[in-house]
Amino acid sequence: MKNTSRLKLLAAILTLTLSGTLLSCGSQEPHAGSCFVNVNGAEPEQEFHPLSTNDAAGLRLASVLQSGLVYIDETGQPQLDLAESIKQLSPTSYEVTLPEDLQFSDGSPITAKTFVDSWNYAVAQDEFWAPQLNNIVGFGEYGAGLSGLKVVSDTVFTIELREPRLDFIASLAQPAFLPLPSSAFGETKNFKNNPVTSGPYRISQWAHSQYVTVVPFTGYRGGKKVTNEGIKFHLYEKTEKPFEDFQSGDLDVLDMIPASEFAEYQKQAENRLVHQPGAAIISLSIHSQTPHFTGEEGRLRRQALSLALDREALADDVLDYSHIAASRFTPPIVAGDTTLEAPAHYDPEQAKQLWREADAISPFTGSIPVHFSHDIAANHQWGKAVARQITKVLGVPADPVPGADFTRFRYDYQTVRFDGLYRTGWVADYPSMREYLVPNFATNGVSNDTQYSNPDVDALFDAASSAENQAEASQLYTDAENILLAELPAIPLLYPAVNLGWNKSVDNVQVGFNSFPLYHSITKDSASCDAS
């Protein structure tokens, strides 16, 4: 994904965007007496289209309305969705077979040609998610289209990649790889007003800024088994009202328990709570040319700063469980079973010792600024706390420095070198160690904002790309991550947390990689259903 796209998505996740306007649409009335699962949502910020929807509210709806070849399950593993099989023919080529009689919610067929035409359309129109297709042969070649796509039959097509990617099948869960009906091409006003869907649900009614109801689509042939009669998304503009409705029983599931309420809810939740790291990570970066942070002196100081940070206190005490302490650059759902030699942790005595060793090389004078954007409230909380921790442990003045808004702040630290620490963040589009490490730490990586370069790390990245299996690749990426945690071009700080609760009315509540509930698997006790 291009940086601007990932930036907008990360901002949506971190700020929990809850307001906006959209199109005017609606179809039939919800079924009287239906046992809908009541959940929180928000009005999307823009018109709903699979290739352009990128705000958190729109992506939430897309998670139930749209399906592609694969989906990511609750363990972070790819599972077949609309594909019957995906066979690897060579390191760079794949054959996709679809079941017969696939269809959209309007009854139109989904064929191999549908997928090929949809992906070519995304690239030709330079749609928001189109860069996710950049590894297919033909991408970026003027007038060629995606020449790496070939239709074999109504149910079979092949894909040729520019270079091998062990995580390619997982990447197919991204929005760019969705099939589109003909109504989504060209003039799309009618499609945006009445979205035709490919997923396990279709829209029943959309009362804008009030609610969206979706019901199971009986023509769906994918891998997500729907276990309820439908979902009712209650659309909120403020963060307080959903929790009030959740407490009163008007919501069955709430995936944004307010930080101020989390500790109390945790006491009463019994086992009806998910508190785990999401897919995003917040780090403190240090530019490779920052005075006193180059060479061996810089390595010692970066390690000292990392050891001086009590991440658990930041996550639990300062941020009220809205975040979770980060010990590495890849979130737990991505890292798998690989273990690290020395994950980031808190050790104030060792931090002082390393800082003294660095001072023996070249005495440090002045203060350490902690830069962050001003428009995310949590930044001010942890920014001030980080500065206090550094000063307390190392005896060095550290100052929180609020910068511009999120977008401008990132532009500033990419074009004007910040001395000291500055907040950076990342969220991958699908579960992949590569997607967290290579863009940020490979030489000339697309988001290598510190200008870090290490040939040993690059070699491990290259070896992982051509590994024979996923286990081998994961170990190679972990080897690279061990080097990164020793050199610390950035310091892992926090994972924004998924704080999800549910009432006794429902069961089988799980969370996906995108931090949204897996709505299709939720079951509801019929005794809790509306009688109307």
Listing DSSP states for 179-233 in one string gives ---GGGSSS-HHHHHS----SSEEEEEEETTTEEEEEE-TT--SS----SS-EEE
pLDDT at 336 (0 to 100): 65
pLDDT at 337 (0 to 100): 65
| φ, ψ for residue 11, nearest 5 deg | -60, -40
The alpha helices in 283-347, defined as continuous H runs, are 295-307, 311-313, 332-335
By the 8 A CB rule, do 511 and 518 touch? yes
Q: What is the CA radius of gyration of the chain?
A: 24
Amino acid at 200: P
Judge if pTM exceeds 0.75. yes
Residue 4 is inside which H or E element, if any? Answer: helix 3-15
Distances (CA, A) of 203 to 173, 206, 216, 426, 526: 21, 7, 9, 32, 22
pLDDT at 18 (0 to 100): 30
For the chain, 532 residues long, the average pLDDT of each consecutive 10-residue run is 50 40 38 78 87 89 96 91 97 96 95 97 92 94 87 98 92 95 79 87 93 96 96 87 93 92 91 93 95 96 98 96 95 80 95 98 96 91 97 97 88 85 91 94 92 97 90 94 97 96 96 94 88 42
Rounded Cα gap, residues 55 and 75, in angstroms: 24
pLDDT at 22 (0 to 100): 33
